[in-house]
């Protein structure tokens, strides 16, 4: 793997751990999974949005550093990328709403609520997959197949790193 990508993934992981810790602190009753202690620190929706915006910027920089594009390809690729990220952000809004729901429901999550939240989370995952499938043809209009494949490898790796860091900061529902 390219050294810049490895370094970038580590930076994303560090950011994700910080952001995940902040997400876990949004309710006084929600313990951090790593410490198991309660924390009264709150973070606003505006602060979360700023963190997400920063992450999108870092992600774009990592894609730029690792996806070898000619000037002509770059001129065509980045507008499609920006559309893709805008649509992806709307889907991820649902993920963050679900995390917020977990936080606000903490301590009173029933079996039915746990099942409902699981279905919602899987629906978000499915939407992300469908978006990627949709955008394969959009990216193929501006890049050859190997570069499109490389882009989606980078995109998926970065998203998995963020998700891992974020989800590792949330406690398991059964521990409430």
Q: What single string gives the DSSP state of each residue in 33-87?
A: TTT---------HHHHHHHHHHHHHHHHHHHHHHS---HHHHHHHHHHHHHHHHH
Query: CA 147, CA 1: separation in Å to the nearest integer?
Result: 15
Neighbours of 13 (CB within 10 A): 16
CA distance 118 to 62: 31
Q: What is the pLDDT along the chain (176 residues), one digit of tens a residue?
A: 554 544 444 444 444 444 444 444 444 344 444 433 334 445 677 777 888 888 899 999 999 999 999 999 999 999 999 999 999 999 999 998 998 899 889 999 999 999 999 999 999 999 999 999 999 999 999 999 999 999 999 999 999 998 898 888 888 999 98
pLDDT at residue 31 in the model: 45
pTM score of the predicted model:
0.75
Q: Given this model, what pLDDT does residue 86 score?
A: 96
CB 135: neighbour CB atoms within 10 A?
20
Kindly report, residue by residue over 123-133, the tens digit of the pLDDT: 999 999 999 99
For 131-158, the DSSP string reads HHHHHHHHHHTTS-HHHHHHHHHHHHHH
Domain that holds residue 119: 3-175
Query: Which region, left, alpha or beta, applies to residue 27 given φ > 0 means left and ψ of -120 to 50 means alpha?
Result: beta
Structural domains in the chain (count): 1
SS3 159: helix
Cα torsion 43, 49, 54, 60: sign: positive
């Amino acid at each position: 793997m390219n050294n810049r990508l490895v370094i970038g993934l580590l930076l994303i992981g560090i950011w994700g751990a910080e952001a995940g810790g902040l997400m876990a602190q949004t309710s006084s009753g929600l313990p951090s999974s790593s410490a198991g202690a309660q924390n009264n620190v709150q973070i606003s929706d505006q602060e979360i949005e700023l963190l997400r915006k920063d992450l999108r910027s870092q992600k774009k920089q990592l894609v730029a550093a690792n996806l070898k594009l000619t000037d002509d390809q770059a001129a065509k690729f980045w507008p499609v990328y920006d559309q893709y990220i805008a649509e992806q952000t709307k889907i991820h809004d649902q993920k963050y709403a679900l995390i917020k729901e977990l936080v606000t429901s903490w301590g009173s999550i029933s079996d039915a609520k746990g099942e409902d939240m699981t279905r919602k989370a899987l629906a978000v995952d499915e939407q992300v997959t469908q978006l990627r499938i949709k955008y394969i043809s959009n990216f193929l209009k501006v890049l050859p197949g190997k570069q499109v494949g490389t882009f989606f490898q980078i995109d998926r790796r970065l998203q998995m790193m963020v998700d891992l860091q974020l989800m590792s900061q949330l406690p398991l529902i059964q521990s409430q």
